[in-house]
A and B are shown apart, each in its own frame.
Chain A
């Protein structure tokens, strides 16, 4: 019977980039949280015009706990034909973020598109982007508690105290006059009311 739990981090090394050769045409690099801002600025200066995507991965048993993953694309605005666009260079920048007080500098002033991407990472992972102009939840309701894409967040949401299911009588298994328990239907209904706290 397959377990409903996410399997443990069997075999996942601390540095995913070391596990397999690069599978796409991307350059892959890993930096510390302290250097990420300088590295992004440098990459922007090198002509990486697009911040294609910004996401995060949670490795709860690892330190640093989170990986924030930047995907950049070097696509000049002058690429007006397929030939001049060619195969633009892709860049994947991975950055480890500590789990206790996760925070990173924002990239919104470098690429406007980082705005919603950073808000989403904040919303779903709880990583704070310092300097973001409008850092608030984007997918979850604004009064939500917890960060759903963290691995320690239960799949079906935070455990709520559920009232025990009240016993009920189905028409099909209660014969008129002779209930299976020997009690009358009224008594069963009384029992249901009691269980519901009425």
Chain B
């Protein structure tokens, strides 16, 4: 009996002996997107699982090659649609490396970037927890999580102008300072957060049904996690304390105090605990950033070759008008070279390998998508599991298909 090599086989189910090949997805509610898994099963036990991806392939890397450096940011932001600010941050950091302006980014811009990245981490983990619990049949958690996520999306909208894809990062800083009233809203969220987290923990952490479904499910040892190239909470749930924010600090992360939670069990419950604690650590960073944000300062690099000059100067200065026109009509140029820049996205190490040929468009934007590699580990994890546990395993890896397929 062999697995079907063709993903779109018309025969959904075929029998041979005791084993059966079953296609799970691509339209399955627990796959969090469009994932097809070709399962070879015997009874309820999975003998082999082969995920089939690509149903959401939108050619983002190809599109990015044909857009200006600043325009490409908008398409790469759409890869991980649950954590858009992480994608945008990684991309702008890479471009800034190529431009050689990393050290010239204003302090306040870096602080706001950290704030956005951590807010988006909490929002993303809220979606993971809410939808992951729906997979287990626990509906109410979803509403608690999405309520908190809604507060964060409001903040994103206030800062960038859009809820889902704020496009707030810019090469050279961020797009405008935080609006009036933003910090008050942020304070309200900071005040609300501990109570909400306590509620979530009370509902789940010691819940026997939740523990039954997650403990010992989807075990991943530290060695096999490394071999499968798993990063982020899934790797830390297996006991390896690798966090890009600590190992390769960017945006001044070394100034903030936070812990990297790890667990040694390597099962779905360990990953759950790691992510919950990560949300609390993210809030710890946000509180530290918040204290710095009272002092005003510039949020954009003072270099009109890269950043458009302030709008109000356009009517007064011929040069400002020319720079503005040049940046809008043909973008800025980036010196030739290649760079690999990584950030810690909510799913793990998000990397961009960017090549520039000196033009006003990226020559190549290669992404290291954490979701793709994390999901690939399912191949090793699923063998011997029950089909019902497969749903938990997928949920505990937290893949986002915009990023897996790009």
Contact = CB atoms under 8 A, between A and B. Distances in A.
Judged by DSSP, the binding face of A is loop
A53 B262 contact: no
Interface residues of A, number: 61
A113 B228 contact: yes
A52 B351 contact: yes
B363 A12 contact: yes
A18 B66 CA distance: 25
Contacts of A86: 247
Given A12-B357, A112-B228, A149-B61, A24 B243 contact: no
Given A2-B329, A57-B366, A87-B248, A139 B357 contact: no
Contact of B241 (A56, A71, A84, A136): A84
Contacts of A51: 229
Contact of B353 (A25, A69, A84, A137): A69
A118 to B, nearest CB: 12
A138 interface: yes
A28 B93 CA distance: 20
A9 interface: yes
A111 B377 CA distance: 12
B62 A149 contact: yes
Interface residues of B, number: 63
Contacts of B5: 134, 136
Contacts of B335: 19-20
B229 A111 contact: yes
B262 A80 contact: yes
A170 interface: no
A43 interface: no
Interface in A166-182: none
A75 interface: yes
Given A7-B360, A79-B241, A139-B53, A16 B229 contact: no
Contact of B247 (A16, A85, A124, A141): A85
19 contacts: A4-B66, A6-B65, A6-B361, A10-B357, A25-B248, A49-B227, A52-B368, A53-B366, A57-B363, A71-B351, A71-B368, A80-B239, A80-B241, A81-B262, A92-B340, A112-B227, A115-B379, A116-B376, A155-B66
